[in-house]
Amino acid sequence: MFIAAIGLVIVIFTPIWRIDLDAPQYPEGLSLSIHANGLSGNVDIINGLNHYIGMKTLHNEDFFEFTILPYCIIFFSIAFAMVAVINKRQWLNILFALFVCFGVVAMIDFWKWEYNYGHNLNPDAAIIVPGMAYQPPLIGFKQLLNFGAYSIPATGGWIFIGTGLILLFLVIFEWKLFKRETGISNSYKVSAALALFLFLGSCTNGPEAILTGKDNCQFCKMTVSDNRFGAEVITKKGKVYKFDDAHCILSWLKENNADYSQVRACFFTDFSNSHSLIKTGQVIFLKSDALKSPMGGNIAAFNNAGDLNAVMKQYSGTVLHWNELLKL
């Protein structure tokens, strides 16, 4: 607990989060660092770019969070030290609940900040792409026109995460001691394991929903307009690339000479039912000129043969599998 308290003091003097931007015209990249009390990095250059697309410029005084966040961190640092001195299980549990609530509220506030700046655009901007929003990812990678945006914890953020893991470990450890001392039922152990499972499970990277009218195709840059033909690539590094047509994902893979050892998974939107994303190993494809997909690929994906046969009564065509589709 004392180590965690000291770590939180260090957070005040280190960047908590960072957003990195990569583009051909900036081979060295641009970086925005978010501290407890302000912004640093290539703020002026990023503000200049934001002006062209109608985004508001970034200024420390516009964020009330920079006023209260240092005090919140100091509060938790003192609280960790006090709980270590008091040495009572119930105070440890109270601190854990408060710290989790603080983390959830902070991430929601960060998402709302990104959403506001990415969506509330000046209608008189020099560059306007209909349907385009410029909200950076909460965490991970997102393509914004010709810029790749990476949103990841910085030094202070990793200290925050480490502090939370220490606290979670201590809570579970104390529950086990309490169970051993009092002989309570196994329900506490099950609850602790479930909490850890949910905590770790929330960090996994699965396919992201393709949002019609908001997301843009990685290959043709057009806004996704039909939720029946979408596709998605996820790399082993967690990058997500979205496409509005089978033609676009196949063209992108060929154009970039994609190394399939670096691709974790490819997904296609199920043409039938709820239009959920299905992995290529489970997909059956139908190629038919009558489908009229957005970019002329005219290829639909299906999760099972029953759905495919039902659609083929209306759209006749050729049935393909993923390996065959790659050869087209």
What gap in Å lies between CA 93 and CA 97, rounded to an integer? 6
3-state secondary structure 176-216: HHHHHHHCCCCHHHHHHHHHHHHHHHCCCCCCCCCCCCCCE
pLDDT at 263: 82
Vertex 140: Cα angle to 211 and 102 (nearest 5) = 100
Query: Can you tell me which residue has the tokens 């390996």?
Result: 323
SS3 103: helix
3-state secondary structure 114-174: HHHHHHCCCCCCCCCCCCCCCCCCCCEEEEECCEEEEEEECHHHHHHHHHHHHHHHHHHHH
Nearest Cα to 284, choosing from 244, 317, 243?
Answer: 317
Nearest Cα to 236, choosing from 260, 252, 213?
Answer: 260
pLDDT at 3: 93
- Digit-by-digit pLDDT tens for the chain (328 residues) are 999 999 999 999 999 999 999 888 888 889 999 999 999 999 999 888 888 888 888 999 989 899 999 999 999 999 999 999 999 989 999 999 999 999 999 999 999 988 888 888 888 888 887 777 788 888 899 888 788 889 999 999 999 999 999 999 999 999 888 887 766 445 555 555 555 554 444 444 568 889 888 899 999 999 999 989 999 998 877 788 999 999 999 988 888 765 566 788 899 999 988 788 999 888 999 999 999 999 999 999 998 888 999 999 999 999 999 888 888 7
C-beta separation of 314 from 300 below 8 A: no
List Cβ neighbours of 289 (8 Å cut-off, separation of 6 or more). Answer: 298, 317
Nearest Cα to 19, choosing from 101, 103, 100, 118?
Answer: 118
What gap in Å lies between CA 242 and CA 254, rounded to an integer? 16
Nearest Cα to 287, choosing from 244, 224, 232, 245?
Answer: 245
What gap in Å lies between CA 14 and CA 1, rounded to an integer? 20
What gap in Å lies between CA 280 and CA 284, rounded to an integer? 8
- Alpha-carbon distances, residue 313 vs 250, 293, 300 (angstroms): 26, 18, 14
- Alpha-carbon distances, residue 220 vs 78, 101, 137, 248, 291 (angstroms): 53, 41, 21, 7, 19
What gap in Å lies between CA 298 and CA 290, rounded to an integer? 7
